[in-house]
Chains A and B, each alone.
Chain A
Amino acid sequence: MSVPVLEISALTKHYGGVHALDGVSFSIARGELLALIGPNGAGKSTCFNIINGQLRPDSGWVRLAGRDITGLAPRRIARLGVGRTFQIATVFASMTALENVQMALIAARGQVFGLWSPARRMGREDALALLEQTGMAALAERPAATLAYGDVKRLELAMALAGDPALLLMDEPTAGMSSGERQAMIALVRQLTRARGLAVLFTEHAMDVVFGHADRVVVLARGRLIANGSVEAVQGDPAVRQAYLGGAPSSLSEAP
């Protein structure tokens, strides 16, 4: 078996006396769409922030394509090929959509300290191609501050792809979107995963998105990993139902 894109092992993190994360291990392979679910406070954000470099674990390690990246700064990890989108999509509001992606490209290529030549022409073609891939080409010249929220989410995705990442971390990629937008967004991510050979780790509360699209599901509860398997296996797991999904998942996920 080839080296996984991401491998985390025995990650542990305490806050005061509380175990935010308690010996969590899992890995992701190339081309895999892995959902990380669990109740609020289960440790999903902590896990994400450790992989991303915003937090340092008390113990355990994170490897990216075999290389230990535990405790590196977020920007170093980004430069090593980890793209990230946030629960509340954030882009650079004072720039056009195109400039946003150009900025991400400039950063990924280590050209940030260019002090003289204008940035307008730098990475323009590649940026337009990324906007094309995320369906944002028509809005390239629009100031980001005037974009609808769904478009901001897709712009953020284009920016996360600018570094040609091997791994994409998506924190609730469909939060704040309507059902139609949710399906379109996750389908886009699905297609990009296949086309680029990405590995995607995402958290999500919308179970239709998780169960409809994920290749594999990891479930956390109170900082521990309680399930790791296929959609069917996780849906049928009694421990998962008890901790997270509740007694009657079918009646709750569909309108009566």
Chain B
Amino acid sequence: MSFESLLFQAVNGFASASGLFLVAAGLSIIFGVTRIVNMAHGSFYMLGLYLAVTLAPLLGATFGGALGFWGGILGAALVTAALGALVEVVLLRRIYAAPELYQLLATFALLLIVNDATLYLWGPEDILGPQAPGLSGAVEFLGRRLPEYDIFLALIGPLVLLGLHLLLKRTRFGRLIRAATQDREMVAALGINEALLFTAVFALGTGIAGFGGALQMAREPANLALDLSVLGDAFVVVVVGGMGSIRGAYVAALLVAEVKALCTALGLVEVGGFTFNMSRLTLVAEFLVMAVVLVVRPHGLFGRPQPAQARRGEAEAPLVPLGRTGRLIVLAALVFFAGIPLLGAVASYAPVLALDMVIAALFAASLHLLMGPGGLASFGHAAYFGLGAYGTAYAATVLGLPTPLAFAVGMATAAAGAVLFGWFCVRLEGVYFAMLTLAFAQIVWSIAHQWEEVTGGSNGLFGVWPDPPFDSANGLYLAALGVTVLGLVLIRRLVFAPFGLALRAARDSRLRAEASGIAVEKVRWLAFAIAGTLCGAAGGLFAFAKGSISPEAISVGRSIDGLVMVLLGGVHSLMGPLLGAGGLTLLQDMVMRESPYWRGLLGLIILLIVLLFPSGLAAGLPRKRGAP
């Protein structure tokens, strides 16, 4: 590799950084003022690109190529901003007072809905846009050809940064944004129309994202995977740069993009006889950048520690062990599930469906350990499900290990992943935790997708069949039931043990917990590791149940399924997630498999939950207080 190619890639990095920055900056501004992490932010970027590739030819036909292209970009940005304003007015206004988790879920639901709406409107094929008139050539640079459009893009980032800086410092709108970022209630109490301000800010943020997406028209085709991939990148950028810092967003975008460009430039590298293809390691590089920054500056390069947010909603009632009735119900449920194989004679589908439910129950319960007692909403629980599933599948097929051993390898893989990722995640709380867990899950998904030698790429791994006696539907089901029951017993013991008490203590008041001598981060780290390991067990069972595992099965949709299960059943109760797991599995089996738009349908269900019970499902039900 030459110095010239390094420099060439560096210029390329600037071009990529601009796109990343535009998404992250909008995300940051919106979060600052509304305190909502817009999970659908990548969707606006994606919409911007789809709108641009649609508008540009239309306008081009009437006004000529140049006006069409640039008009298309501008039009796409404006339409995206208008859509953003609409979303703010129709949806976000109803959930500003809702618990954080519900806000994350609502915007995530929006992501699912927008994705399916895009699929409906534009179809599943990638769509290419026109070349940029006047910028479609290339300039000679160090003996290589550098596309003019990339140079243009490289300049856009700093220009938008400057524009935003002036907007924030010099205008009344900017002063309002800065003031509202700190204390929006006080802004309203001074007579400023808060609702209008929020709408304007959301439109601004989504408009910038749409602009960023539209600018990619001459670089990449519009496709349906963009929303999540951009969202994951934007989260990494925001975490690295520091939430709320526009300058930080640019520096972080540049850092991430340059490190990726460097990996591409390095290409094949030989170290000690081994050959590494560095261009395949771009995702790992992104992860390493984030890791280093978070170790040195936990709040990002330009971020500041966030003031502890008061927990919204009522405090949970103290946990009490099951009474006699409760124990009887649990026993009855256990007997029922253990008896399912007997039903197999009359309804052969019963053990298959019950197997799905049992796996979902373990998955949801492991997530609940983090979300309920831990108060940490993971948006990337699919990562550990995936690690468990791939670990098991690889051990069973490639390594040819016996079933129990392969399953153990899967759990160990998930445990290792949870220990590694958890170390970073537990340094953060609230929305930051959610963002980081999602980013890690995206990384795991991408590795599963790209590391073909081990994971089988997009096809995944096949032929993951268990050995006897687990090779029959009933045998596997009973084994899975056993594993799940063991997992649930462990979780329940944990929650009532000193460890569980400490986990809840850290959730209720981190300040008090630390002042009492509780090592909050260590407690959370262990909880993360245990939750990840048990989730990995669910993944391992899944691989055996389906006989295969592919990236599709561990995508972000899996994480969201888990969140919906926990919320359907109620985050306050230990039984809730189990009911939610059963309910959602049945629902998916009966209804959703029939429709290609079932993710969008799931999004609508989430929105309904959030809008009907804006302060949490538990608040919609009568509560028993432990008062004497």
Chain A positions within 8 Å of B, measured between CB atoms, are: 52, 73-75, 78-79, 83-84, 86, 90-96, 99, 102-104, 106-108, 111-120, 122, 141-146, 156, 159-160, 162-163
Indicate if the CB atoms of A143 and B317 lie closer than 8 Å: yes
Indicate if the CB atoms of B511 and A90 lie closer than 8 Å: yes
Which of B311, B504, B516, B626 lies in contact with A108, CB distance below 8 A? B516
Indicate if the CB atoms of B502 and A115 lie closer than 8 Å: no
Query: What are 22 inter-chain pairs, A to B, with CB distance below 8 A?
Result: A52-B515, A90-B511, A91-B512, A92-B513, A93-B509, A94-B319, A94-B507, A95-B501, A95-B504, A96-B626, A102-B501, A104-B516, A106-B501, A108-B516, A112-B523, A114-B497, A115-B493, A115-B499, A116-B493, A122-B498, A143-B317, A145-B315
A78 and B514 CA atoms in complex are apart in Å by: 8
Residue of B499, B515, B520 ringed by the most chain A CB atoms within 10 A = B515
Given A78-B515, A115-B494: A106 and B502 within 8 A (CB)?
yes
Identity of the chain B residue whose Cβ is nearest the Cβ of A162 in the assembled complex? B516
User: Would you give the 0/1 interface string for B504-544, flagging 1 where the beta carbon is closer than 8 Å to chain A?
Assistant: 11011101111111111001001000000000000000000
Indicate if the CB atoms of A78 and B497 lie closer than 8 Å: no
A139 and B502 CA atoms in complex are apart in Å by: 22
Indicate if the CB atoms of A119 and B497 lie closer than 8 Å: yes
Report the minimal beta-carbon distance from B524 to chain A, rounded to whole angstroms.
12
CB-CB under 8 A from A160, the residues of chain B are 515
Indicate if the CB atoms of A92 and B505 lie closer than 8 Å: yes
CB-CB under 8 A from B515, the residues of chain A are 52, 74-75, 78, 83-84, 86, 160
Identity of the chain A residue whose Cβ is nearest the Cβ of B502 in the assembled complex? A112
Identity of the chain B residue whose Cβ is nearest the Cβ of A89 in the assembled complex? B512
Residue of A112, A116, A120, A163 ringed by the most chain B CB atoms within 10 A = A112
Indicate if the CB atoms of B512 and A145 lie closer than 8 Å: no
Given A95-B504, A111-B498: A86 and B514 within 8 A (CB)?
no
Interface size on B, residues (CB 8 A): 38
Report the minimal beta-carbon distance from A123 to chain B, rounded to whole angstroms.
10
Identity of the chain A residue whose Cβ is nearest the Cβ of B627 in the assembled complex? A146
Say yes or no: is B143 at the interface (Cβ < 8 Å to chain A): no
Since A119-B501, A143-B317 are in contact, a sample of 18 more A-B pairs with Cβ atoms closer than 8 Å, ordered by chain A residue number, is A74-B514, A83-B515, A90-B512, A93-B311, A95-B505, A96-B318, A103-B505, A103-B516, A108-B516, A112-B519, A112-B523, A114-B497, A120-B321, A141-B626, A142-B626, A143-B627, A159-B512, A162-B516
Indicate if the CB atoms of A92 and B504 lie closer than 8 Å: yes
A119 and B497 CA atoms in complex are apart in Å by: 5
CB-CB under 8 A from A91, the residues of chain B are 508-509, 512
Identity of the chain A residue whose Cβ is nearest the Cβ of B375 in the assembled complex? A94
Indicate if the CB atoms of A93 and B498 lie closer than 8 Å: no
Given A95-B501, A103-B501, A143-B625: A112 and B518 within 8 A (CB)?
yes
Which of A73, A117, A146 lies in contact with B625, CB distance below 8 A? A146
Indicate if the CB atoms of A92 and B628 lie closer than 8 Å: no
Say yes or no: is B500 at the interface (Cβ < 8 Å to chain A): yes
Which of B496, B508, B517 lies in contact with A93, CB distance below 8 A? B508
Indicate if the CB atoms of B508 and A120 lie closer than 8 Å: no
Which of A86, A90, A114, A159 lies in contact with B498, CB distance below 8 A? A114
CB-CB under 8 A from B502, the residues of chain A are 103, 106-107, 112
Residue of B314, B315, B498 ringed by the most chain A CB atoms within 10 A = B498
Say yes or no: is B316 at the interface (Cβ < 8 Å to chain A): yes
CB-CB under 8 A from A111, the residues of chain B are 498
Chain B positions within 8 Å of A, measured between CB atoms, are: 311, 314-319, 321, 493-494, 496-502, 504-505, 507-509, 511-520, 523, 526, 625-628
A147 and B266 CA atoms in complex are apart in Å by: 63
Given A90-B511, A107-B517, A142-B627: A99 and B496 within 8 A (CB)?
no
Which of A75, A102, A116 lies in contact with B517, CB distance below 8 A? A75
A86 and B511 CA atoms in complex are apart in Å by: 9
Indicate if the CB atoms of A79 and B517 lie closer than 8 Å: yes
Indicate if the CB atoms of B497 and A117 lie closer than 8 Å: yes
Given A90-B509, A99-B501, A113-B499: A143 and B516 within 8 A (CB)?
no
Indicate if the CB atoms of B626 and A92 lie closer than 8 Å: no
Which of A79, A83, A142 lies in contact with B628, CB distance below 8 A? A142
Report the minimal beta-carbon distance from B530 to chain A, rounded to whole angstroms.
9
A146 and B403 CA atoms in complex are apart in Å by: 52
Given A75-B518, A112-B518, A141-B628: A120 and B504 within 8 A (CB)?
no
A93 and B321 CA atoms in complex are apart in Å by: 18
A163 and B512 CA atoms in complex are apart in Å by: 13
A216 and B523 CA atoms in complex are apart in Å by: 40
CB-CB under 8 A from B494, the residues of chain A are 115-116
A201 and B626 CA atoms in complex are apart in Å by: 36
Report the minimal beta-carbon distance from A185 to chain B, rounded to whole angstroms.
18
Identity of the chain B residue whose Cβ is nearest the Cβ of A84 in the assembled complex? B515
Which of A73, A99, A104 lies in contact with B318, CB distance below 8 A? A99
Indicate if the CB atoms of B626 and A75 lie closer than 8 Å: no
A84 and B517 CA atoms in complex are apart in Å by: 10
Indicate if the CB atoms of B499 and A94 lie closer than 8 Å: no
Identity of the chain B residue whose Cβ is nearest the Cβ of A104 in the assembled complex? B516
Indicate if the CB atoms of B505 and A75 lie closer than 8 Å: no
Residue of B321, B494, B505 ringed by the most chain A CB atoms within 10 A = B505
Indicate if the CB atoms of A116 and B501 lie closer than 8 Å: no
CB-CB under 8 A from A118, the residues of chain B are 321, 493, 496-497
Identity of the chain A residue whose Cβ is nearest the Cβ of B319 in the assembled complex? A94
Indicate if the CB atoms of A108 and B505 lie closer than 8 Å: no
Instruction: Give 6 nearest A-B pairs by CB, closest first.
Output: A93-B315, A145-B315, A78-B517, A114-B498, A92-B508, A94-B316
CB-CB under 8 A from B509, the residues of chain A are 90-93
CB-CB under 8 A from A156, the residues of chain B are 512
A119 and B514 CA atoms in complex are apart in Å by: 19
